[in-house]
Amino acid sequence: MAKRTFSSLEAFLIFLLVMMTVITVALLTLLFVTSGTIENNKDSGNHGSSTTQSPSTTQSPETTQSPETTQSPETTQTSSITYISDPPPSQNFSGYYIGVGRADCTGQVSDINLMGYGKSGQNAQGLLTRLYSRAFIMADSDGSNRMAFVSVELCMISQRLRLEVLKRLQSKYGSLYRRDNVVLSGTHTHSGPAGYFQYTLYILASEGFSNRTFQYLVSGIVKSIEIAHTNLKPGKIFINKGNVANVQINRSPSSYLQNPPSERARYSSDTDKEMVVLKMVDLNGEDLGLISWFAIHPVSMNNSNHLVNSDNMGYAAYLFEQEKNRGYLPGQGPFVAGFASSNLGDVSPNILGPHCTNTGESCDNEKSTCPVGGPSMCMASGPGQDMFDSAQIIGRAIYQRAKELHDSASQEVTGPVFAAHQWVNMTDVSVQINATHVAKTCKPALGYSFAAGTIDGVSGLNITQGTTEGDLFWDTIRDQLLGKPSEEIIECHKPKPILLHTGELTKPHPWHPDIVDVQIVTLGSLAIAAIPGEFTTMSGRRFREAVKKEFELYGMKDMTVVVSGLCNVYTHYITTYEEYQAQRYEAASTIYGPHTLSAYIQLFSDLAKAIATDTVANMSSGPEPPFFENLIATLIPNIPDRTPIGRQFGEVLQAAKPEYRVGEVVEVTFVGANPKNSAENQTHETFLTVEKYEDSIADWQIMYNDASWETRLYWHKGLLGLSNATIEWYIPDTAQPGIYRIRYFGHNRKQELLKPAVILAFEGISSPFEVVAT
């Protein structure tokens, strides 16, 4: 075992950490969302009720149930169900039925952790951009088979989220949309809400389960699919591919170098630079939508950020939709652009690379550590002046390349739609390594380097990447609090030194999933592999090559295999066997052991074979995953909002100046209320608008909303229900001179003695101000 000494300060911090851990573990068996709470779709701590509307959506011809009235998985309606059928078949045509839809899935923007970095205290305190679910339905021209691909601006899809979405789709559409033909994929923004998981480790990282956010997300995802279904029309699909330059680096290059030299020699870069684009048009050639797959981590916004936003990939989608939906506000308009994740596991957008924040010297080494300050000082940075600027620089480059590929796409996709899916126990997969050797996957476990974080977001602990030996101090704390890992799991994961043996921890629920989705949907010569985690660059390359060969072996030639990341259930990372030996962050987070990639290649190859040989119907569906009823609740209570004496909600506290120039920032502060209330009562579909007075109509016209990248909402939480809301508008070069104002929309929670809580809408308006040309 490695030995270590601790300074007095470090020992004190460790003592605090231990005490926090003890308290957390003690609470595991005490703090639950009761079955009744989940069944009634009310957050724990919400002792009243409120009237709500469904999430804001676009192109919606129908109204669905609100989050509070939609049935949960535990409460099944017994009345008869009327299923929604297909639009009537059109005349014979060559192509596909295509439907696109977009719906809001922002959830809470306060009193909830942001998901991705796992940093305690990185909670939401406002909004930079809304988050959207973008659905794309593609069906054979005779309507016989279909698929729905949904790109959701979340860190990842949780198993609980997928199960509930599928349940609601089944209740409305019968067998049209199923586990085999619906793919849910997270964009992997690290600036979206947490709290929508059911496995204990993810709930601890979320600091509790938020039923409020969970219901909001489910409703938004389902709504986007409903809109896409309603919009189905005959059309054509084209595919194009091309490289994107100067937006990525490999954040674990020393791990990549562990791969065989002969294999690395086949590639010009240690990241996948190729973007795959699907262009969708109707039979008149009018644009309907786009899906792009590209490997990059949406972590331009670092772990100091507290504003909910969609990061670089979201900015690319924003620019594309604004270009195509001219005259519409962000989040509105018929054209839908999905920028989906791929094999991004070791790919960073922070292209200036890692440097020691205290000295400026490079820390691009195997341990990602600095001579002074250690690993906590080693951080990578993007190309911009700050993280907001970096997100837009990277996002714009991705958008521009996608637009070029979209505009020049000429290769039409033709052929039938197929889908194959299985649930698999990933803790017990036998892998045929070669003719004589069989290996197995492992029960989940996380290694020491998991706790180190990455150069995109360090943890602050005195643990480095590339740790291949345990530490007596941390091992002792783990053993005392959680019990010792078994010899079986230790041997299975070698050379990973196990920090958390999550596969052997089951209280109050399993800490990691055992049952995992594997899924392929094909559209002619395109195969979309729904990966339940994060492939590294070389993992993705090996996987695509193997699955393509399997298709070819059984007669489906020239298939394009796309790795679609963060799909259906989250299982952390998947490195190659060789990268696993180095035990940097990605390898330490490969939870099913060193043969995980080989297992996935084997499982997905079986799906490819079944599709190619038309034997999908003969495949076992596999063991169904659980849906847990009792989950650890968030500890943040719902308290009534209050105003300062003599003030009202929405009243201006800091007024705008009379005049601004293009390029300046307008800032107005209002008496506010907790923004999480707006995830329950959605009377207002935006927190803010920037409006311009138009003489021609003698009225105010909305120019920007809270989905605009030019606006920001900061929420300042005070004591005993008091709070302020500051709205900023970064005046762009495109803003026309004239008279403007800013409006603030909020909801306050009101609680009277012995009465249920109600959530009331309010608004505030700034004084008019003038924008003049520079």
Is 348 marked active-site? yes
Q: Is the dihedral of CA 603, 607, 610, 615 positive or negative?
A: positive
3-state secondary structure of 355: strand
CA dist., res. 20 & res. 7, Å (int): 20
- Residue pair 446/499 in contact (Cβ under 8 Å)? The answer is yes
- Within 8 A by CB and 6+ apart from 326, the residues are none
CA dist., res. 38 & res. 700, Å (int): 43
**233: exposed, middle or buried (Cβ count in 10 Å: 0-12, 13-18, 19+):** middle
CA dist., res. 560 & res. 528, Å (int): 8
Please tell me the chain's helix, strand, coil percentages from 3-state DSSP, rounded to the nearest 5: 25, 30, 45
Tokens 């639009």 -> residue = 87
- Residue pair 341/313 in contact (Cβ under 8 Å)? The answer is yes
Torsion angle of C-alpha atoms 126, 102, 133, 89, degrees rounded to 10: 170
Q: Which tokens is 85 given?
A: 């059928």
CA dist., res. 759 & res. 753, Å (int): 15
The answer to whether the peptide bond before residue 768 is cis (omega within 30 degrees of 0) is no
Closest CA to 705 of 322, 258, 243, 157: 322
Where do runs of H (alpha helix) occur along 29-114? 35-39
Cα angle: 530, vertex 536, 539; to 5 degrees? 75
Q: Which tokens is 534 given?
A: 């994060």
Catalytic residue among 56, 133, 348, 723: 348
Rounded to whole angstroms, what are the CA distances from 219 to 107, 417, 579? 10, 27, 39
Scored b (16 or more CB within 10 A) or e, 627-655 reads: ebbbbbbbebebebbbbeeeeebbbbeee
Q: Which residues are catalytic?
A: 348
